[in-house]
Amino acid sequence: MKRPVLVRRDRVLPGSQAFAFVAGLVVALLFGAILLIASGHDPIEVYGRMWSSSFGSTNGLGRTFNRAVPLALAGLAVAIAGTMGLWNIGAEGQILAGALGAAWVARIGETWSSPALITAMLVAGTIAGLVWALGPALAKAGLGVNEIITTLMLNEVAVRVVRYLLNGAWKDPASLNFPVAPKLPEAARLPGLFGRAHLGVVIALVVIALVAVVVNRSAWGYELRIAGSSGPAAAYAGISLKRKILTVLLVSGAIAGLGGAIELTGNAERITEGISNGYGFAGIIVAALALMRPWAIPAVAVVFGAVQVGGSSIQTLGVPASVADILQALILAGALIAGVLMAYRVRWVSTRAQDPSGDGLEAVAGV
């Protein structure tokens, strides 16, 4: 009897993550095709529609980029915390908080000029995201409280804060008692870029570039990477872990908050409790696929944005939009499997304890 054992390769194959991502994409499309065929759809037609709607026209490309913005910023928020080995699962809530902060500015700044209003909204959203991450950051840095659970719980709280406001103080008097906020003023709309794309695409790219530079090139980012790789080495170099934990979680929340503000001014007519639309969770997958590296995030985010835009376009073919979410999860699953297979090789070893044939005798070490 033989059984497979995974043995770690001495060196990870070069370019393996890009390959794993592509492999994940292929696996996801294949599984998706099976699902589509089983439910009586033609996968070629469906995938063709998804492609043409997301990449086939200027407008489509714009929509794809717009979708990619909150995905990328959420992914970036997760990635910067991940650089230090921390999990910010609260991007969903921080996006909501950011949108809320921006919406609040729009309420008090109705008379301001458009550039001033939009700038103030983006700043307010960033601060609101930071504030939403403050509790988990303090608890982690001060008491070592697991940040995964605290940030996760605050997602659900954020949804309810928005719901509370929409049912009360922020309810549109003209809404016939429906719990919706009034429309944003025209001055609060982010200017367009090309086609349907808005200026948020540029802002997101600038922030990503900035974070990439900070993480990879600045002294602060260097300290972050040292602390993420080895606590004792960081301590020896005189780096305070607590302060790093606190600041990186706050920055992470701020980035997600900015994402929420951009989504509000760029894509939404008004704030709703669904404005985050799962971006925070999808952002975790984006960051994982990008291996927490900021510069790899835009590519992954654009693919995910395209999948989402394509997903909504196929509804006219009678295919549910949830295909997009299924594909996203399967891309990750496929990439994880491909990644493991590339980092390890499979070896077959004997299962019999006292097998004198000598098959199990070769060195277990990497000879």
Partner 1 sequence: MSEASIIGLFVFTIRFAVLLYLAALGEVIAERAGVLNLGVEGMMAMGAVSGFLVGLETGNPWLALIAGIIVGALTSGLHALLSVVLGADQVVSGLALTIFGLALAAFIGKDKVGTPPEGTFEPLPVPGLSEIPWVGEIFFQQPPVVYLTALAGLGAWYVLNRTRVGLGLRAAGESAATADAAGHSVVGLRVGAVMVGGAFAGASGAYLSLSLAPGWTEGMTAGRGWIAVALVIFGAWSPGRAALGALLFGATLALEPRLQTFGVDISPILLSMLPYLLTIAALLLLSIRSRNRPSPAPAAIGIPYRREER
Partner 2 sequence: MPDAASEDAVLLRGIWKRFPGVVANAGANLRVRRGTIHAVLGENGAGKSTLMNVLSGVYRPDEGDLVIDGRARRFSSPADAIAAGVGMVHQEFRLVPTFTVAENVVLGASPLRIDKRDISARVDALADQYGLAADPTRPVWQLSMGERQRVEILKALWRDARVLILDEPTAVLTPAEADELGGIIRRMADEGRSVIFISHKLDEVKAFCDEATVLRGGKTVAESLDVREIEPTRMAELMVGDAGASVAERPAPHPVGKPVLELRGVNALGSRGLPALIDADLTVNEGEIVGIAGVSGNGQRELADVVAGLTPTTSGSIVLAGVDVAGRPPRVRFKAGLAYIPEDRLGVGLAPALSVVDNAILRSYRAHRRGPLLAVERCKRFCEGLVEKFGVKVGNVDDRIGSLSGGNLQRLLLGRELSGEPRLVLAAQPTRGLDVQGVRAIQQLLVDQRDADTGVLLISEDLDELLTLADRLFVMSEGRLLAEFDPTTATRAEIGAAMAGADGAMR
List residues binding partner 2 (CB under 8 A). Answer: 11, 213, 217-220, 222, 225-226, 228-230, 232-238, 349-356, 360-367
Pick one of partner 2, partner 1, none as the site partner of residue 322 (Cβ within 5 to 8 A by kind): partner 1
CA distance 262 to 270: 12
Pick one of partner 1, partner 2, none as the site partner of residue 353 (Cβ within 5 to 8 A by kind): partner 2
CA distance 191 to 346: 53
Pick one of partner 1, partner 2, none as the site partner of residue 19 (Cβ within 5 to 8 A by kind): none
Interface residue with partner 1 among 143, 219, 346, 353 (CB under 8 A) is 143
Interface residue with partner 1 among 22, 333, 350, 360 (CB under 8 A) is 333
Amino acid, single-letter form, for residue 97: A
Q: What is the 3-state secondary structure (H, E, C) of 91-115?
A: HHHHHHHHHHHHHHHHHHCCCCCHH
How crowded is the C-beta side of 312, counted as CA atoms within 13 Å? 10
How crowded is the C-beta side of 61, counted as CA atoms within 13 Å? 7
Pick one of partner 2, partner 1, none as the site partner of residue 233 (Cβ within 5 to 8 A by kind): partner 2
Residue with tokens 């049912």: 167
Q: Find, among 118, 120, 124, the residue nearest to 99 by Cα.
A: 124
Minimum CB separation of residue 353 from partner 2 in Å reads 4
CB 333 within 8 A of CB 27: yes
- The smaller minimum CB distance to partner 2, of residues 206 and 213, is found at 213
CB 306 within 8 A of CB 286: no
**134 sits near partner 1 (criterion: CB under 8 A):** no
CB 66 within 8 A of CB 255: no
Q: By three-state DSSP, how is residue 303 classified?
A: helix
**199 sits near partner 1 (criterion: CB under 8 A):** no
Residue with tokens 């103080």: 169
The stretch among 137-145, 210-218, 227-235, 242-250 that binds partner 1 (CB under 8 A) is 137-145
CB 154 within 8 A of CB 256: no
Interface residue with partner 1 among 83, 150, 308, 313 (CB under 8 A) is 150
Pick one of partner 2, partner 1, none as the site partner of residue 229 (Cβ within 5 to 8 A by kind): partner 2
Pick one of partner 2, partner 1, none as the site partner of residue 155 (Cβ within 5 to 8 A by kind): partner 1
Amino acid, single-letter form, for residue 208: I
Amino acid, single-letter form, for residue 19: F
Minimum CB separation of residue 47 from partner 1 in Å reads 16
Enumerate binding residues for partner 1 (CB under 8 A): 5-6, 35, 39, 87, 89, 135, 139, 143-146, 148-150, 152-157, 159-161, 163-164, 167-168, 278, 281-282, 284-285, 288, 320, 322-326, 328-330, 332-333, 336-337, 340, 364-365
